[in-house]
């Protein structure tokens, strides 16, 4: 989840809905300025007993952040606690249960993402060796109950913890026991944003299947391939889902702003503290009628905060976020920006991807969203399975990356980073199914083997 960073421009008061729309539209930029930003989360665990460390214990999360700070990261504090780190336009932050997140810098190529990830993991392993911790890329913590998870000292999380059980049964699991990877992408105009949003939303279940990597809960199979993805279906219906209005004629920045105005608020940040306004209306805030701040109108910073509290499968800020994938090993973390850059950053590939999905119905979108977390690539679809669509999707992405022609010194295009997805799509076997095979076979039902074999 987002680390709060603001500038002086963010203090301007928002006078009308038009200013909300203008902020979203301000993300439009020429193709030559398009970048990729990859964010990934990972579980931290004590190597001695495989438990998640508390924030303030020796060798705990605070010590890990301090160790990274000694390697050149600038600490960000809240309430006297270091809760994030910054280095240039990249940041390291904490999820509610101590999951460590790298929000990568906006970079030009997938090769750059690969280099950034390798550098970050080297630093984590260096610090982790001293602290006695390891790092696991996985969609759902496989061996711990919710009440065994630590709580990080961030004010917004206290508000969310209180609100989540009121609107869904799995929201706290989302906060404390899931881990994801996502990629942020640019757009050139409102029309380009709408086309990319529609393609990204339609194909998000394909990404969920390709990256499915969360089949265990508390040491046993949970009946899902991506339990992380399923959790979002019972977290908060007001701020999650497939957003059918995106496929309607006339969709654009204003329609998304209207959606966000109807998403209930979580908090307002004032004087260094988070004020609980959970469930209240941003529309009322715009009119100066927010109960907690009577007569006060929101600033641009408040709008940015609010945009970060909706969790649909694709999210719009001043860029688009693809949000449907489980966390995993390094090759799959890099494969996610490769997939979406290939599909969305080459005009011919984007057209081909749109041709693939343009006649899918809202019922089909919802069916895929519902069934894929359990069935993965074996999900029935239009007389075949989702594996058929996945193979076509990865092929389109490969063509798009080759056409982009962002080459290494050895003349290799970004398509080299799709290797893991080619294998998954061609076999029709998700990463989760391979883990289940190991669990029922050589692991002899011992899920802790996952830490030894799947950690960074």
Pick from 395, 347, 343: which is nearest to 183 by CA?
A: 343
> Distance from first CA to last CA of the chain, Å, rounded?
22
Strands 133-136, 36-46: pairing kind: antiparallel
Helix (H, G, I), strand (E, B) or coil at 56: coil
Residue 310, phi then psi, degrees to nearest 5: -100, 145
The reply to whether 280 falls in a domain is no
Question: CA 254, 257, 261, 267: dihedral to nearest 10 degrees?
Answer: -160
Beta strands in 264-402 (DSSP E): 267-270, 273-276, 311-312, 314-316, 320-326, 380-381, 384-385
- Tally of domains in the chain: 1
Q: What does the pLDDT read at residue 82? A: 97
Q: Is residue 151 part of a domain?
A: yes
pLDDT of residue 11: 87
CA 295 to chain centre: 35
Residue 404 covered by a domain:
yes
- Determine, yes or no, domain membership for 270: no
pLDDT at position 218: 98
Measured distance CA(428)–CA(225) in Å, rounded? 13
Residues in the chain: 456
What is residue 2's predicted lDDT score, i.e. its pLDDT? 53
pLDDT in tens, the chain (456 residues): 555 455 667 889 998 999 999 999 999 999 999 999 999 999 999 999 999 999 999 999 999 999 999 999 999 999 999 999 999 999 999 999 999 999 999 999 999 999 999 999 999 999 999 999 999 999 999 999 999 999 999 999 999 999 999 999 999 999 999 999 999 999 999 999 999 999 999 999 999 999 999 999 999 999 999 999 999 999 999 999 999 999 999 999 999 999 999 999 999 999 999 999 999 999 999 999 999 999 999 999 999 999 999 999 999 999 999 999 999 999 999 999 999 999 999 999 999 999 999 999 999 999 999 999 999 999 999 999 999 999 999 999 999 999 999 999 999 999 999 999 999 999 999 999 999 999 999 999 999 999 999 999
Q: Are strands 384-385 and 380-381 parallel, antiparallel or unpaired?
A: antiparallel
pLDDT at 1: 55
Q: Is residue 272 part of a domain?
A: no
Domain that holds residue 185: 9-263+310-454
- pLDDT at position 252: 98
* Pairwise CA distance, residues 358 & 202, whole Å: 9
**Cα(352)–Cα(399) distance, rounded to whole angstroms?**
10
Is residue 297 assigned to a domain? no
Residue 115 maps to which CATH number?
A: 3.30.590.20
Q: Which of 149, 153, 2, 144 is nearest to 65 (CA)?
A: 153
Contacts 24+ apart (CB under 8 A), 367-372: 368/205, 369/204, 369/205, 369/233, 369/241, 369/242, 369/313, 370/233, 372/205, 372/208, 372/209, 372/212, 372/226, 372/229
Tell me if 96 is assigned to some domain.
yes
Contact status, residue 374 vs residue 410, Cβ threshold 8 Å: no
Tokens in use for 206?
């394909």
Taking a C-beta distance cutoff of 8 angstroms, is the pair 302, 191 a contact? no
pLDDT at 15: 87
Strand partners, 390: none
288 domain-assigned: no
In angstroms, what is the C-alpha Rg of the chain? 21
């Amino acid at each position: 989840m987002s680390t709060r960073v603001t500038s002086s421009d963010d203090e301007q008061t928002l006078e009308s809905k038009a200013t909300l729309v203008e902020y979203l539209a301000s993300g439009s930029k020429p193709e030559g300025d398009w970048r990729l930003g990859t964010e990934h989360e990972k579980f931290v665990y004590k190597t001695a007993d495989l438990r998640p460390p508390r924030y303030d214990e020796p060798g705990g999360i605070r010590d890990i952040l301090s160790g990274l700070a000694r390697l050149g990261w600038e600490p960000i504090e809240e309430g006297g606690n270091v809760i994030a780190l910054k280095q240039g336009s990249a940041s390291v932050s904490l999820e509610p249960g101590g999951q460590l997140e790298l929000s990568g810098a906006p970079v030009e190529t997938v090769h750059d993402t690969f280099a950034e990830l390798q550098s970050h993991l080297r630093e984590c392993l260096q610090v982790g060796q001293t602290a006695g911790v390891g790092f696991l890329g996985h969609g759902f913590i496989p061996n711990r109950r919710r009440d065994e998870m630590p709580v990080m000292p961030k004010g917004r999380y206290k508000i969310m913890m209180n609100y989540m059980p009121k609107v869904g049964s799995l929201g706290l699991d989302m906060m404390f026991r899931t881990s994801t990877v996502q990629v942020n992408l640019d757009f050139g105009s409102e029309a380009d944003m709408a086309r990319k949003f529609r393609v990204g939303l339609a194909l998000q279940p394909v990404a969920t299947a390709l990256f499915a990597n969360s089949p265990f809960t508390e040491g046993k199979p949970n009946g899902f391939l991506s339990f992380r993805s399923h959790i979002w279906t019972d977290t908060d219906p007001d701020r999650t889902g497939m957003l059918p209005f995106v496929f309607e004629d006339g969709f654009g920045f204003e329609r998304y702003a209207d959606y966000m105005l109807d998403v209930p608020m979580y908090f307002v940040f004032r004087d260094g503290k988070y004020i609980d306004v959970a469930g209240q209306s941003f529309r009322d805030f715009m009119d100066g009628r927010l109960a907690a701040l009577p007569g006060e109108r929101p600033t641009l910073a408040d709008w940015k905060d609010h945009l970060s509290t909706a969790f649909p499968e694709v999210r719009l800020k001043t860029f688009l976020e693809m949000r449907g994938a489980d966390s995993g090993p390094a090759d799959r973390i890099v494969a996610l920006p490769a997939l979406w850059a290939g599909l969305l950053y080459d005009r011919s590939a984007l057209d081909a991807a749109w041709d693939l999905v343009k006649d899918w119905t809202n019922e089909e979108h919802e069916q895929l969203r519902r069934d894929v977390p359990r069935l993965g690539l074996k999900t029935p679809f239009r007389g075949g399975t989702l594996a058929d669509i996945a193979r076509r999707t990865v092929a389109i992405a490969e063509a798009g990356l080759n056409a982009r022609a962002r080459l290494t010194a050895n003349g290799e295009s970004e398509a080299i980073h799709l290797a893991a997805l080619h294998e998954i799509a061609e076999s029709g076997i998700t990463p989760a199914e391979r883990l289940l095979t190991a669990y029922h076979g050589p692991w002899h039902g011992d899920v802790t083997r996952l830490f030894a074999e799947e950690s960074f």
